[in-house]
Amino acid sequence: MSVVTAPHTTAPDVLRRQDPEMAEVILGEARRQADSLQLIAAENFTSPAVLAALGSPLANKYAEGYPGARHHGGCELVDAAERIAVARAKALFGAEHANVQPHSGSSAVLATYAALLRPGDTVLAMGLAYGGHLTHGAPVNFSGRWFDFVGYGVDAESGIIDYAQVHQLARTHRPKAIVCGSISYPRHIDYATFREIADDVGAYLIADAAHPIGLVAGGAAPNPVPYADVVCATTHKVLRGPRGGMILCGEEYADRVDRAVFPFTQGGAQMHTIAAKGVAFGEASAPAFTAYAHRVVANARALAEALATEGLLITTGGTDTHLITADPSPLGVDGRAARGRLAAAGVVLDTCALPHADGRGLRLGTAAVTTQGMGEAEMRRIAALFAAALGEDVAKTRGIRGEVRSLTGRFPPYGTLS
């Protein structure tokens, strides 16, 4: 079982006394997480130890710079915390260098671009319509404003990345960098093929592994570190750490990456978050996490199969990861309407682009429900609740909501809430 228990999910007595209004919001969110199905692919439940580090006195410390070279005094102990986190990240992913200061996955990507590129450079990345992230060239994002992005896609029938197209586009546009990674691609990425394409055109290879990095830590997904020049990632999602980012690279790029994080794109490091990242890296190095990562994938495959049986169209025909993308239109509802109906029933997930199709699909993941201890039997039950919520009138949603509460009540993420 992967259930975590923690008193931190209830508002501390001191907060209740001093600010009952905010305490009630925090307690309400804890209840929301506990009595609904958390299927957002980018979310998870951290451990009590991670929460303890986040709420520690390290939150008080200003620590611009890096261990041994800070711009403020009194950093001896936070230096030790960062060195521990860096050493654990390097060991966990087999990287020569790790920077654990990025505040988010987007911050990690921004710093990576700053380290390797200059404004106006051409970058090849997955097109937004196929699952690319905002930082992969969205016009409203810094990436789309500062760089010339070219998008690659997926095969119209299989939904798998069209590597021949990637290679052709690379030879045509001669990008300075190629980005491999997606927010809604449920299959493993062939990093070796991307490396060959990048070498053929003399491009940097950047792996945006925000989603699969936790599976990599647990040996349930291929590791991009041996192939990519730089790997960007988040520390939440399947990795089950605090919300934040990190960058992994070889020694060749270490100084450039570090200078791009600080002082170019960020100021003071969030030392409580860095300590929490270190705790999560330590947890992810244990055999129990390896078992957890493989259960996440097994649950995702079971859920995908069950959803297909209920009539949803599963893109790529299944999943290799924690992530599933599905088209609910065979049930007579589009993605946005489906998300609303499911939310009313207590099933929380996202919409996503559907390659080569009109309308929006559904994106969901199994990391959080697996942390709660749910297994393949529960995945089949979730699929049945899905179909009921999408097929019923809104007036009948209340009964489904009760069934969701009954299910989640058997798997409380943090014990009893009060």
Helix/strand/coil for 268: coil
Q: What distance in Å separates the CA atoms of residue 161 and residue 194, rounded to the nearest whole number?
A: 11
The full 3-state SS of 57-96, as one line of letters, equals HHHHCCCCEECCEECCCCCHHHHHHHHHHHHHHHHHHCCC
| 370 tagged catalytic | no
Show the beta-strand stretches assigned E in 328-404.
347-348, 350-353, 360-365
Chain CA centroid to CA 1, Å? 22
Q: Looking at 35, 43, 64, 148, which residue is catalytic?
A: 64
DSSP letters along 167-191, please?
A: HHHHHHH--SEEEE--SS--S---H
Q: Which parts of 202-332 fold into alpha helices (H)? A: 213-217, 251-259, 271-284, 287-309
Q: Looking at 16, 35, 43, 62, which residue is catalytic?
A: 62
Q: What distance in Å separates the CA atoms of residue 220 and residue 294, rounded to the nearest whole number?
A: 6
ω into 222 cis (within 30 of 0): no
Helix/strand/coil for 116: helix
Q: Looking at 10, 46, 234, 321, which residue is catalytic?
A: 234
CA dihedral 15, 21, 22, 27 (to 10 degrees): 80
Neighbours of 118 (CB within 10 A): 10
| 64 tagged catalytic | yes
| 62 tagged catalytic | yes
Q: Looking at 66, 112, 204, 208, which residue is catalytic?
A: 208
Amino acid at 296: V
> What are the residues facing 205 on neighbouring strands?
178
Q: DSSP letter at 11?
A: P
Q: Looking at 195, 237, 240, 277, which residue is catalytic?
A: 237
Chain CA centroid to CA 297, Å? 14
| 88 tagged catalytic | no
| 237 tagged catalytic | yes
Q: Looking at 243, 341, 360, 363, which residue is catalytic?
A: 243
Q: At 125, phi and psi to the nearest 5?
A: -150, 165
Residue 141, CA distances (Å) to 116, 266, 295, 366, 392 in order: 18, 17, 35, 29, 39
Q: What distance in Å separates the CA atoms of residue 155 and residue 355, rounded to the nearest whole number?
A: 9
Two tokens, residue 12: 């501390």
The burial of 56, by beta-carbon neighbours within 10 Å (0-12 exposed, 13-18 middle, 19 or more buried), is given as middle
Residue bearing tokens 């647990």: 218
Q: Which residues are catalytic?
A: 62, 64, 208, 234, 237, 243
